[in-house]
Amino acid sequence: MKAVLRLLDPNARPKSPSGFCALAVMTKAPRPGRVKTRLVPPLTPNEAATLNACFLRDTTVAISSAIVSGGLLGKACGVAVYTPVGWEGAYADILPPDFDLLPQRGGSFGERLWFAAEDLFKCGFGGVCLIDSDSPTVPAATFAHAVEMLRSSREHIVLGPADDGGYYLIGLKKPHREVFERIDWSTERVLEQTKARAKEIGVAVKLLPTCYDVDDFTTLRRLCKELLGGNSPDAKAPETTKFLREIIDREGRSRIWPNVTAPKAMESRKPLGVHRVP
């Protein structure tokens, strides 16, 4: 039986319990040809959409685990901030049953992040973590740590640095629009510019461990090495690991995880930084 997920309405009452932190994943419905397009090739459009769903399953399970095992019951909850509107049913078999849905709005990447934060605060959350859906290996402990950092008495912004110069998580205690403005999205300057915006408004920044996002052939090979190289337990991103292993078992590793350096044509052409708008 498919889970029936609650759709949050920022203008409705009653609101979410005061003090709760939203662990909110920015996500795009896994439609072939619409997601992970920079992984085609080596993946097919259908495989890219399936991988997108696997990333989301692993990330949201890690969030749920952080809440249950990290002592955050009654303190945090999971939310999927999704696009496009009308595709709510696509998440019934992907998200844990304790997740809620919130539609994205806005045009640019910065607008979508800001409106997601604004809408979640309107829903009554006392803290908001916006999380990308391209980093399936972020451990549950990192999400739990982000919540505890936001629950401290002092105000600060929490950032999870990505090693391409962007970030995979931003946590806020108040709706500071400034940290989403004057940012050169999809460049290696995103993290430093966000820290600069925080400094301008007088809010300290706390950093989580650095991670990486997977959105091109180079980072796909890195992910394969991490998950299938023999040094990572199956418990780490299990849905993603299973899917990648199925491709390799069926066709060999050369298509998605070659032993030799990939041809230049298959390398990323995108500037480093935070991901494209989900």
Give the confidence band of 263 by pLDDT, cuts at 50, 70, 90: very low
Give the confidence band of 15 by pLDDT, cuts at 50, 70, 90: confident
Q: In this structure, how many other beta carbons lie within 10 angstroms of the beta carbon of residue 89?
A: 10
Beta-bridged to residue 105, according to DSSP, are none
Question: Residue 3: its pLDDT value, please?
Answer: 64
| Three-point CA angle 72, 111, 134, nearest 5° | 55
Question: Residue 68: its pLDDT value, please?
Answer: 94
Question: Residue 233: its pLDDT value, please?
Answer: 60
Q: What CATH number labels 15-207?
A: 3.90.550.10
Task: Residue 256: name the closest of 271, 270, 266 by CA.
Answer: 266
Share of the chain above pLDDT 90, in %: 83
pLDDT tens-digit series, residues 69-111: 988 999 999 999 999 999 999 999 999 999 999 999 999 999 9
As a whole number, the mean pLDDT across the chain is: 91
For the chain, domain boundaries: 15-207, 217-262
User: What distance in Å separates the CA atoms of residue 175 and residue 119, rounded to the nearest whole number?
Assistant: 10
pLDDT tens-digit series, residues 150-199: 998 889 999 999 999 999 999 999 999 999 999 999 999 999 999 999 99
User: What distance in Å separates the CA atoms of residue 256 and residue 226, rounded to the nearest whole number?
Assistant: 13
CB 4 within 8 A of CB 92: yes
